[in-house]
Amino acid sequence: MDISSLPAWRPARLGMARSFQMLRRCGGMSVRENPRMGACRRRADKAGVAGDLEGVHARFPRLRERRGVNSGARRGRGRQMLSVGRGLMSRPRMLRLAEPPAALAPRGVEEIAEAMRGLRALGLALLVEQTGGMALGVAERLHLIRGGRLASEKAVDDGAGIDEPRDF
């Protein structure tokens, strides 16, 4: 399905959430409040939202530890955790991750990659934009887009010898 011509709100209604590289963090909100923004369409489902927030905190314990802190103060790994957590709160079928390891130290990259593997195991489809190196360790299938069109695709198991996206 081509979503490029749809209004910005439509993909969300189709079950797609996006984790932004440059998270608009709503600086006046706490780390606890920020992920709740992803569940804004589900306000009436208080128990479900609370359960999903608990799930985000279980996946990212640092967010639970820092829940009273202003979300605008988060950097690097914490910013990515907030962004992914916000996306998960909408209960998406597909989560688009915009360059998850951007500006992260190696430890943060591995933590985010581990979270991605856990999400994949739950059946959530993940789309990683422009970050082939991390995707190679997480994905079941690789899709190479060139000039806005699908240029190639293959199962990771078929990708013997693929160490970098340029090898694809």
- Classified as helix, coil or strand, 23 is coil
Separation of alpha carbons 125 and 140, rounded Å: 10
Residue in this structure with the two tokens 């979300």, named with its chain if needed: 71
149 beta partners: 146
Torsional sign, CA 153, 94, 124, 165:
positive
Q: Which residues of the chain have pLDDT under 50?
A: none
pLDDT at 72: 65
Write the single-letter amino acid at 37: M
- State if pTM tops 0.85: no
- Classified as helix, coil or strand, 125 is strand
pLDDT at 166: 56
Beta strands in 5-120 (DSSP E): 16-19, 94-98
What are 22-49's pLDDT values in tens digits?
A: 555 556 788 888 888 888 888 889 999 9
- Domains of the chain as residue ranges with CATH: 10-167 (3.40.50.300)
pLDDT at 17: 85
pLDDT at 103: 67
pLDDT at 21: 59
pLDDT at 20: 67
The token duo for 42 is 């589900």
Query: Helix H segments across 60-153?
Result: 61-65, 76-88, 106-121, 132-136
